[in-house]
Structure formats: C-alpha cells, structure tokens
Amino acid sequence: MSAIYGKHTWPEIKSMDKDRVVILPVGAMEDHGPHLPLDTDNLIVSRVAESVAELMPQEVLLLPTIPFGFNEHHKDFPGVIFIQPETLMHFVVDVACSLAHHGFRRILLLNGHGSNHPVLDLAARKAVITTECLCVSASYWNLIGADIAQHRSSRIGGIAHACELETSIYLYFDPDHVQLDKAKVSIVHDDSKKYFSLDLMGGSKAMVMQWWSAQTEDGTMGDPTVADAHKGKLFFEAAVRATAELIREIRSIKMNSRKDHH
C-alpha cells in the first residue's frame, strides 16, 4: 500500500491503520547565498521524508511539503516568501485537526528551516491539546548532531545556513543547480559567546534572531566552500536513518487518556 497520502482513495483512508505516522514536511522559500537555490530547505526536507516513506511504507503516510515558512527576517533578500508565524501555526494545526478528524493518531511535523522550529513546536503542542492526537515536531538537523560532527570539515560556525551541510546535500541531489564558484565563507558564530551558537550542531542555549541582512553580506552563514556531494550523501542518509528511528519511537509511544481532576 502506498505511503503517499494523496494517492489513496477515501475508502482506503477509512480502513487504514490509524497508527501510521503521518509526516508533514515543512520547508521555506528563501535566499541561500549566491550559490544555492531558494528551494533548498524544501528540496532537503522533501527528499528526507520521501526516502523515509520508501523505507517504511507500511508505517507512515506522507503529505505534500508546505513550501513556505516563517522567515520575514530574511526579506531583505529578493525572492523570499514570508509567512507570518501565526498563519503558519494555524495552517499546520488545521492540517493536524483534519487528520485527527479522520482518526489518525500520530503526526510528525518534519522541519527543514531553522525559524520554523519554534512555530512548529508550538503548533505540535496546540495540536495535542486541540485534537488529543500525538503530534511531534522535529528539525532534521537536530536528529543528526553526532553524524554532523563526524563528517564535517568546517569548524563550529560552518554549518548554519547555505552552509557545508545544505550545500553538500544539494550537491548530492542536484549539482546542476549549485553554483559553487560563487560560494564564500561567512562564519557569523562567535566562539567567545557561551550561550549563543550560530551552528546547527548542538543548537544555541539562548536565542536571538536578528535581521538576516544585518548579520551576513550574501545570505550565507557557514562555510559552503568545503561542501561536496559525498558528505551530502552521508549527511542525508544519517537524516533518513534518524527520522526512521524517530518514527518507530513515535509509533511506540503509549497514549494515555487524560484525567480531569476538577
């Protein structure tokens, strides 16, 4: 039976195992330096989700990727489509409510863009209290910190945006759309800061998101110059493995009923 949600008929959805994990990938349309296309986040998160669906077709159902995200802080760069965080949250919660209405109990919001993370975290929490289904949010890079550490060539600060990670994965899938000759190092991370990190490996203890154009000249944060397709394959396969593991964990979470103690 297909893992692609939209390929099913309504009687098939009706009789389907409702403990399949429904994956909703969420990306963004935004600047990724002068060397990567606007659709970088969409391409990566969609490929990860598609590969997971191929790997475990009986355990998941895959929805189409939401191609726009929360990124108004990027809008000084031409091409960015920016969605208000409230809009994105409501939209995602509406999707979750629809799924819950049809009986699905387990949902994964799989994120491909940094600033969607807090929005999807909130959306997942809201979906749980609105629908009582299990709604999980996860950003793929947070699942593969150890693999990033193992395979990276850049120092801390080299993996943040249009960086070694994203450029490598894009090179692995679609090298014709990567203009590596235009890639420049743009490390914004400050080693002297204890609580702020601008590297995706490990994340930041405290958070401030300034206007993107105030932090980087060409939109890059990190070191895309050391990217290559082989590393892209390693990063990508790690993301698929980790997401598949996460899905097994989501399927194994026991869903207890609530108890109102009033």
Structure tokens at 27: 């990306």
**Interacting stretch for Zn ion, rule CB under 5 A, among 40-48, 63-71, 96-104, 209-217?**
40-48
Secondary structure element (H or E) that encloses residue 86, with its range = helix 85-101
**Interacting stretch for Zn ion, rule CB under 5 A, among 37-45, 97-105, 122-130, 249-257?**
37-45
Size (the chain), residues: 262
Q: Are 149 and 176 in contact (CB under 8 A)?
A: no
Contact mark string toward Zn ion, 159..198, x via CB under 5 A: ----------------------------------------
Report the 10 Å Cβ neighbour count for 249: 11
Please list the residues that pair with 60 across neighbouring strands: 21
Q: Are 103 and 18 in contact (CB under 8 A)?
A: yes
User: Whole-number minimum distance, CB 104 to Zn ion, in Å?
Assistant: 29
User: Whole-number minimum distance, CB 141 to Zn ion, in Å?
Assistant: 10
**Interacting stretch for Zn ion, rule CB under 5 A, among 1-9, 36-44, 123-131, 231-239?**
36-44
User: Whole-number minimum distance, CB 32 to Zn ion, in Å?
Assistant: 6
By the rule CB under 5 A, 31 interacts with Zn ion: no
By the rule CB under 5 A, 199 interacts with Zn ion: no
The 10 Å CB-count burial string (b at 16+, else e) for 12-42 is eeeebebebbbbbbbbbbbbbbbbbbbbbbb
Report the 10 Å Cβ neighbour count for 187: 21
Residue 134 or 157: which CB sits closer to Zn ion?
Answer: 157
Q: How far apart are CA 183 and CA 189, in angstroms?
A: 18
Q: Are 240 and 51 in contact (CB under 8 A)?
A: yes
**Interacting stretch for Zn ion, rule CB under 5 A, among 2-10, 33-41, 132-140, 225-233?**
33-41
User: Whole-number minimum distance, CB 161 to Zn ion, in Å?
Assistant: 5
User: Whole-number minimum distance, CB 122 to Zn ion, in Å?
Assistant: 20
User: Whole-number minimum distance, CB 51 to Zn ion, in Å?
Assistant: 18
By the rule CB under 5 A, 41 interacts with Zn ion: yes
Contact positions toward Zn ion, by CB under 5 A? 40-41
